[in-house]
Structure 1
């Protein structure tokens, strides 16, 4: 016969049932307590531990507090075999499930503070309170700290896997951005070369449009060619503006050709270009990056002059300095002439500028180790000046230490939390134990004076006096143990010991039965063989 599987609800309750059975094993083993109150406190542990197991997930701190009360009833020192396992396991589970530590610390401090009057009233001495603190620290706080550390470590593992998944996605995104950036660089190169050529074509067509040697039809065709070249330049600018990324100023691929070829082509297109060279003739040839940057500066400046100031004269001035190991090129164009040949359609539309040419040019000059300045001249024209090194120049400045990414910061923060939790797990109990031992040493020095019974008060005691009357003349605190070698009192007697002097080598023994004093004697320490 095929066995039917347990319902999901029952399978969810099995771990709690198993935990409750484990916690009840010490109760069964210690059920034969000598006192009736202790037996009732042990018997009440079965339903109380069941309640603690039920609320351990929703209220983990309450699950720890539930077995504390019967444990204090069994022993005010909290060191009981019946509930030690329950306190340790529930404390560990509370550390795993609690997100905040402050409520648990307040709860532990409350138990420690409640132990002071409890030990004073029940045992008439504070020495059991120190045992309570040790038991609380080792049996509850330390498992709770271990649970907190396990929680932080699990969070670190989850954070690591989450960051690994995020980094994998970011790597794919970086690859996609790299491909797009490379396309934008290709588009930028296309814009630099084709834009320059189209500007020269438009300039030549404009010269033919106003040539009186041509008939009207040919001048109209030249005007249409100039208009088509201008429109193509604008569309190229729009397309490149869409393809160019925000963080991409100019393509790093160097341009080819020489400055002389650029000047020659510009003059053949009808531009008035003058070239002036100043400086040492024996200056070294510029490095490759500097040569490419010079070519790009002149190319971009001539293109802008042809687009924005057609017909204006352009001057190129190159200054080489061997002493400073620099070359400075300045391209200046005059203001745009007021009178220009009419367009065939009668429009006076100005060329569209995307504004990215000078940005890319500045990036190209910076990568070559130089500086770029551009702006209008007092005469109404425009000037572009680039200063570049002749000896390679300094490398472009890069950040000394790159800023950490958000993923790296999150992982570092999780690692710091785990290290801090590990340090707390080891250091806090150790520091608490050291402080406790110091406090016990101080208490051992000062407490003997609190337990000394006045000799005159002892002599006033009479056999048969009520216990309340005897305790009214005795000190509040009594000795926690009688002197060594003191015989055990008879069965059914309850004896209390007070110091004769601060040395506690001798003690007053006051024994009661039936609520009355039955013995008042002095006992001395006896060395056992």
Structure 2
């Protein structure tokens, strides 16, 4: 049952859609095909036969495709395949992938050690020369350890960058929370001051005008004017209450939101007409609902337009228009020039118009203000229907739990964030993707092991290069030196001028070439001037007998 369950889990990981995007499928096919062709061609060109070349290519292709799902297993198999065939490139790719995907320093060290043992086991079967073994160790360090350390460093760098992004996002959210809280406290203070000062004054005005309205000494016209003043003070108290509510909790009263355009504007026009102003309201189109911010902004346009007309053009004719167009509501207030004026342009608004433009922008609309054709002034606003982009004030919600959009899946197919709301009060939940203390220690250990491997690699490379040069010095000679030596020269003199020849580089050419003279002792050396064919070596052979050089020969042998 355990084996079956493991096989099912392996198959599920293999078929995981996150592991096989379209781009990755194309890349994996190209990589596997390239590695297979190079390995098969190497096997065939070295005379191993077409069957072995095809099998080696297929093995490399399968292992290359499985390296993401089974990084440790593929690494060990690639180590064995590298020494048995020409699959060195597969070892580089498998080491890179294993360094990135094997979790834990101990697991990674075990996998690389097993791959090294598998590689050296095949080397010992073919050649047990200490120099050749040292060379194979050096080659494994270059082709496996260095790519593995590089891949692990690259993976840890990506994890560190992701951690820094999450920390930065958390700091930005905390800064926004602090800024919102500071604004809310300041708004509450302003709301309290407005309620205590303006509210008291407006209430006093409403009471005094109410008492004056019932006074017997007023004429009927004066009584109507005092009534308009009382209604205006009461309306101002309602407006102040709505503004205080917005400042305190960021919400607009539903009553105002519902009656801002319809009943609210009707009331403004009726109040202006009752005060003796020539004002007319014109409507066109079928009424349609607006979002609360746009509704409130439209009401403010009419209110500001009437106020400016009363202030800068007293006694002038005023027209208020509500035009329900196909996609937006157009609200305008147009006043003519004041009676007795010379036709000069009306004075434009100041802070009131600036506030209107900002309010309209937040509601998704726009405001226009400027002189009219007859010398008056026109204030108009255009507001879209529906909720619009500013359904709620920009700071109304104060959502302290808002989260940035979750990033897409990384290269390994794992989503870097699940997009769920994170409780900012629980830092463990917020930083669940951040490297833990144990993983941090493992990272430090891995960096230490990697640094140690690099130091060992540098030492081995230096020693290996020195050893190779020393072996070449013992085993090779210049063609000019070969031509300068003549047959019949004493053996001591010739050997004093020649290298010792005691090198593993000459072990493959001893006993090859023409037959040696009977009873002689021969010294075979490699020429520094080798043939163009890399599979062949030029050999100089010196044979001695009776203390003299009796023969010297030059021939070419094929490498094993």
* Shared fold, TM over 0.5: no
Instruction: Tell me which of the two structures has the higher relative contact order, counting C-alpha pairs closer than 8 angstroms and 6 or more residues apart.
Output: 1
TM-score under structure 1 normalisation? 0.38
